[in-house]
Amino acid sequence: MLVLGCSAGGFRMLLTMLKALPANLPVGVLVVIHRNANYETHLEANLAAKCRIVVKVAEDKEPIRPATAYFAPAGYHLLVEPDRSLSLDTSEPVHFCRPSIDVTMQSAADVYGASTVAILLSGANQDGAEGMESVRKVDGLCIVQHPRDAEVETMPAAAIRKGAVDLTLTNGELIILSQGLSNHIFRN
């Protein structure tokens, strides 16, 4: 399972990474972006035309499939169920956010354990740091965008301060990682 999270300033890098993912990606991708539920966007439809993997809004009770990016809908937390399907939740915001990166990363770590790869990009609050810590505790792989490359360094810097990061990568390294994602990075 690959989990990507970002907020302020992270969209451009997220788009670049999603476009670089190979069509034969052996895992599903959960994407959490902080966005306002009061504004309709066509983000997923616009991205779908530019990516080699399927890009869609996550639906409640939907099974997770490889080579598919599931975006958390605005106003909902995105969770992974034990049967590896998705669920949407309207519980309280975390760090003033719903969807919350922490909630999705923690849920993915609970189900996928050491097979979880979490990547945290630019953002203006600390959402994602606790989620990265959860992934790290189950021996998953935790990667952040280098704070100096992030438009807003707060999110990746918070995860680094928590000691919840295995790799701190530049924008160029994140793109190379995305292009080369294969069975080798994901443990069974």
Q: Tell me the DSSP string of 151-162.
A: SS-HHHHHHHHT
End-to-end CA distance of the chain: give it in Å, rounded.
Answer: 10
- Whole-structure pTM value: 0.93
> Which tens digit of pLDDT belongs to each residue from 8-40?
889 999 999 999 999 999 999 999 998 766 666
Respond yes or no: is residue 127 known to be catalytic. Answer: yes
Cβ atoms of residues 164 and 105 within 8 Å = no
Respond yes or no: is residue 87 known to be catalytic. Answer: no
Confidence category of residue 171, pLDDT binned at 50, 70, 90: very high
CATH number for 2-180: choose from 3.30.2270.10, 3.40.50.180, 3.30.70.60, 3.20.20.70: 3.40.50.180
Respond yes or no: is residue 107 known to be catalytic. Answer: no
User: With 0-12 CB in 10 A as exposed, 13-18 as middle and 19+ as buried, what is 20?
Assistant: middle
Residue percentage of the chain with pLDDT more than 70: 93
Mean pLDDT over the full length of the chain: 91
List the domain boundaries for the chain. Answer: 2-180
- Closest by alpha carbon to 107, among 54, 64, 158? 64
> Which tens digit of pLDDT belongs to each residue from 52-86?
999 999 999 999 999 999 999 999 999 999 999 99
Catalytic residue from among 77, 95, 115, 127: 127
User: CA 101 to CA 40: how far, in whole Å?
Assistant: 20
Confidence category of residue 41, pLDDT binned at 50, 70, 90: low
Q: Tell me the DSSP string of the chain.
A: -EEEEE-TT-HHHHHHHHHHS-TT-SS-EEEEE---TTS---HHHHHHTT-SSEEEE--TTPBP-TTEEEEPPTT-EEEE-TTSBEEEE----BTTBSS-HHHHHHHHHHHHGGG-EEEE---SS-TTHHHHHHHHHTT-EEEEE-TTTSSS-HHHHHHHHTT--SEEE-HHHHHHHHHH--TTTS--
